Chains A and B, each alone.
Chain A
Amino acid sequence: MGPFIEVILGGLMAGVLYSLVALGFVLIYKASGVFNFAQGAMVLFAALAFARLSEKMPMPVAFVLAMGIMVIVAWLIERLVLRSLVNQEGIILFLATFGVTYFLEGLGQLIFGSDIYPIDLGLPKEPRIIFESTFPGGILINIEDLVAAAVAGTLVLFLALFFQKTTVGRALRAVADDHQAAQSVGIPLNRIWVIVWSVSGFVALVAGVIWGSKLGVQFSLALVALKAIPVVILGGFTSVPGAIVGGLIIGVGEKVAEVYLGPIIGGGIENWFAYGLALAFLMVRPEGLFGERHIDRV
């Protein structure tokens, strides 16, 4: 029983981190209908900025500066890409975010360098053993993972409050419902877009810092986004809770599959298992767990 629970816990922790990246996707999709493939590149960009800045200055300052950079990035994306593509089909916007992805990946590594940069948040790295009395051998748990989970939880709470209780949050939801109607009652579409991209830049920064402190900041961080895609598929494009639940399901599913199914069919199945799961789910319920049902009208 002990090892099984450890696998589940490991999966949940990985899942939390997937959820964080997936949250960035959901935020932007919710508020502008753009499926932002560049979220992974934003995570890499933000983490690189933070890692390199924190070499020169204290961490809180570096964090604020990195956030500033992400706001500038958001503003530039709105200005140079989105503004010219208003009213285009979803697929065109999606492909445009491919361009943004490549640009950000190139730019980030050009400015900040392309080595592996460590982020040390000062958290204890050694695993602890808990529940020794309940299970033989106890359960190994990583404090760092717990902190990550707590941060992710707080972030979700904060975002939920932001969406529900503030004027800006209400405006964001209005834009998501109907661009034109929102504009006609005086909600500035462009400013809303800058805000939502900034918020998702903030989420990317947090995700990047947490991932970076685990694995070091390097190019492979951008590939985390590829894991977050099945998460949003599973959870539904428009649902914040969906991103969380989807992340946890994918995280646990993939760890369990790797540990218990992997040895039978050759191992290394973590890479495609998430996609298989999401795909199987899509066939049954195309809108995802919490997604909005889409109806075609002629």
Chain B
Amino acid sequence: MFYRENGQFKTSYADDQALLSIKQDKWFIWLVLAVAFAVVPMFASEYLFRAILIPFLILALAAIGLNLLVGYCGQISLGTGAFMMVGAYAAYNIAVRIPELNILVVFILAGLITTVVGMVFGIPSLRIKGLYLAVATLAAQFFMDWLFSRVKWLTNDSSSGSVSAPVVEMFGFKLDSPIAKYWFVLAIVVLFALIAKNLVRSNIGRSWMATRDMDVAAEIIGIRPVYAKLSAFAVSSFFVGVSGALWAFVHLGSWEPLAFDINRSFTMIFMIIIGGLGSILGSFLGAAFIVVLPLVLNQVPIWFGIPISTATASHLEFMIFGALIVFFLIVEPHGLARLWAIAKEKLRIWPFPH
């Protein structure tokens, strides 16, 4: 009824290969974008921007990056926090040392530096896989933690690695209001999501998925695992690096290595599991879920008038996260994105179940 695609004929290759081939999808995406760009800023409060929308967008970007690597290429990484940290400190170093550089260029350069670092830590993936690789990326996590709290040059001689980013300024505008920050982040995230969506349906994306599904078979049909894996690490690290720079510059403002510790890496993994492995949409859903859940968990007991301490709340949060991960892995391994797909299927034949 609402989601009927009959009568929409594809009469050219361009139609057939369009990003969104169904009209309803197109309208829906335009609607979402219009709401996100125009309607939300009119009504959102400063708290909503600072505590939910901006973190959600930046983490969604990191989740897309991680999803390209884990969900699409099947290379598990427990070092997302480390790569975000590289992006953040790279951007900081560039911005402090070359202040006249446009901030967009700074973010791109930070992303490129993270790409290089990510590829270095991706080299073991050519020799080892699966669980072993998870360990290699954990090594990245611990090494970066150490590096940025010890090597003074990288933090511009600040003590214990804590630094403050300069105010983000672009083409003469200062990004100091929440709305400006929101628009800036939103524009970047939309652009990157579009790039990611197109990448995964190109030949690069298909070579990633073939490697994920069965690496030996992929090699036999002519996909070179070296290129597939390293390109996945490169692209993923670029995304994660940019998101790290955004997280540090736009969301945090001042930070220390602890902001990107191993818990950040784990949270990122949870995002893509709950959102949906191998799905761009899932990265957004997972990020939204993980950002909103702790806030809800803190609010719910207050609504019901049951006071619980912050410690208890954080323990409950751990338990709920844990239970949800197991739940999603067992019941719906493709995460929230799959639930969304099912909902669309149902709408297609609504109101008749057959």
Contacts and interface: CB of A to CB of B under 8 A. Distances in A.
Interface of A: 35, 80-81, 84-85, 88, 90-92, 94-96, 98-107, 109-110, 114, 226, 229-230, 233, 237, 266-269, 271-272, 275-276, 278-279, 282-283, 286, 296, 298
B128 A106 contact: no
A100 B322 CA distance: 6
B132 interface: yes
A96 B325 contact: yes
A99 B139 contact: no
Contact of A96 (B74, B143, B315, B326): B326
Given A35-B131, A85-B329, A109-B315, 8 more contacts: A85-B330, A102-B318, A105-B322, A110-B312, A237-B131, A271-B146, A275-B139, A279-B135
B151 A278 contact: no
Given A268-B146, A269-B146, A275-B143, A286 B128 contact: yes
Interface string B6-28: 00000000000000000000000
Contacts of B217: 298
Contacts, number: 128
Contact of B323 (A85, A91, A103, A110): A103
A278 B139 contact: yes
Interface string B324-354: 1111011001000000000000000000000
SS of B interface (majority): helix
A81 B320 CA distance: 15
Main secondary structure on chain A at its contact with chain B?
A: helix
Nearest to A233: B135
23 contacts: A81-B330, A84-B330, A88-B329, A90-B131, A91-B131, A94-B76, A94-B134, A95-B329, A99-B325, A100-B326, A102-B322, A103-B318, A106-B317, A106-B318, A106-B320, A109-B315, A110-B319, A229-B135, A237-B131, A266-B150, A275-B139, A278-B139, A279-B136
A158 to B, nearest CB: 27
Contacts of A268: 146, 149-150
Contacts of A81: 326, 330
A277 to B, nearest CB: 9
Given A91-B131, A103-B326, A226 B321 contact: no
B325 A286 contact: no
Contact of A101 (B135, B136, B311, B322): B322
Contact of A272 (B128, B139, B215, B323): B139
Nearest to A83: B330
B230 to A, nearest CB: 15
Contact of A99 (B127, B131, B216, B324): B324
Nearest to B133: A282
B285 interface: no
B132 A286 contact: yes
B61 interface: no
B215 to A, nearest CB: 8
A102 B325 contact: yes
A81 B220 CA distance: 36
Nearest to A115: B311
B324 A114 contact: no
A282 B132 contact: yes
Interface in B111-146: 124, 127-128, 130-132, 134-136, 138-139, 142-143, 145-146
B227 interface: no
B319 A106 contact: yes
List the 4 shortest-distance A-B pairs measured between CB atoms, nearest first. A106-B318, A103-B322, A102-B322, A99-B325
B114 to A, nearest CB: 18
Contacts of A286: 127-128, 132
Contacts of B74: 91
A268 B150 CA distance: 9
B322 A110 contact: no
Nearest to A267: B150
Nearest to B149: A268
B266 interface: yes
A282 B124 contact: yes
Contact of B142 (A95, A107, A272): A272
Contacts of B325: 95-96, 98-99, 102
A283 B127 contact: yes
A286 B135 CA distance: 12
A282 B311 contact: no
B299 to A, nearest CB: 19
Contacts of A94: 76, 131, 134
B269 interface: yes
Contacts of A80: 326
A105 B131 contact: no
B318 A91 contact: no
Residue among B134, B143, B329 having the largest count of chain A Cβ atoms under 10 Å: B329
Contacts of A90: 130-131
A275 B315 contact: no
Contacts of A269: 146
B273 interface: yes
A75 to B, nearest CB: 15
Contacts of B135: 229-230, 233, 275, 278-279, 282
B29 interface: no
Contacts of A103: 318-319, 322-323, 326
B293 interface: no
Contact of A229 (B138, B322, B329, B330): B138
A278 B320 CA distance: 33
Given A101-B322, A286-B132, A106 B316 contact: yes
A90 B128 CA distance: 14
Nearest to A297: B216
